[in-house]
Amino acid sequence: MRPIHRAFTLALITSLSGCALWSNRSASTSERPSDANIAAIVLAANRVDIEYATLARAKTTNPEVLAFAKRTFDDHTALTAALTKLSERIALVPQENVTSLDIRDDGDEKRQRLRELSGAAFDSAYFAIEFAYHERVWGLIETSLIPSAKHPELKALLLEALPTLGAHKGHAMSHVGPRR
């Protein structure tokens, strides 16, 4: 197996494993995340992708990777700022929970794996991780966080974020797999 394909396969497998999401837990319980839990989950998810983007910007020279990293960095920084501003205005204190901690820990693990790669292997793994990450977070927001959000402005912010996350997922997906 060529090194780039090995890196891609490793990244894809590790991206698809990992953090347990609230939507998986909620299937077996009636417990839904509170607005405080939702805020912590979204902040953790944004922090993870900002850190992925920061690492990519430091490790790659590929213009496509650099452009994608800049876009995700800017978009997730803006979403963090909007959520922070909303939280201050409505006195919402983010409350860490199993899902936010799982997202954080999974991001740390993936970032460590990315640090070990370079060149085309890094670029391929970065896009694979980004695709799986955005697919997972998009699904979590759509199926669990939006239906659970009680404050209308929090729900609106989550709805507003979905198209951006979907665009990130689509862009990363277009770079996943062997290049022809």
Instruction: Tell me what pLDDT residue 177 has.
Output: 57
Where along the chain do its domains lie? 3-12+33-173
**For residue 30, how far is the Cα from the chain centroid?**
25
In tens, the pLDDT along 69-78 reads: 999 999 999 9
pTM beyond 0.85: the answer is no
Instruction: Tell me what pLDDT residue 30 has.
Output: 52
Alpha-carbon distances, residue 155 vs 144, 146, 162 (angstroms): 11, 6, 11
Give the residue with greater pLDDT, 28 vs 103.
Answer: 103
In tens, the pLDDT along 46-67 reads: 999 999 999 999 999 999 999 9
How would you class 31 by CB atoms within 10 Å of its CB: exposed for 0-12, middle for 13-18, buried for 19 or more?
A: exposed
* 21 has pLDDT over 70: no
* 29 has pLDDT over 90: no
**For residue 79, how far is the Cα from the chain centroid?**
12
Name the residue type at position 13. I
Give the residue with greater pLDDT, 30 vs 106.
Answer: 106
Q: 3-12+33-173 — its CATH code?
A: 1.20.1260.10
Give the residue with greater pLDDT, 168 vs 73.
Answer: 73
| DSSP symbols for 27-59 | TT-S----HHHHHHHHHHHHHHHHHHHHHHHHH
Instruction: Tell me what pLDDT residue 167 has.
Output: 86
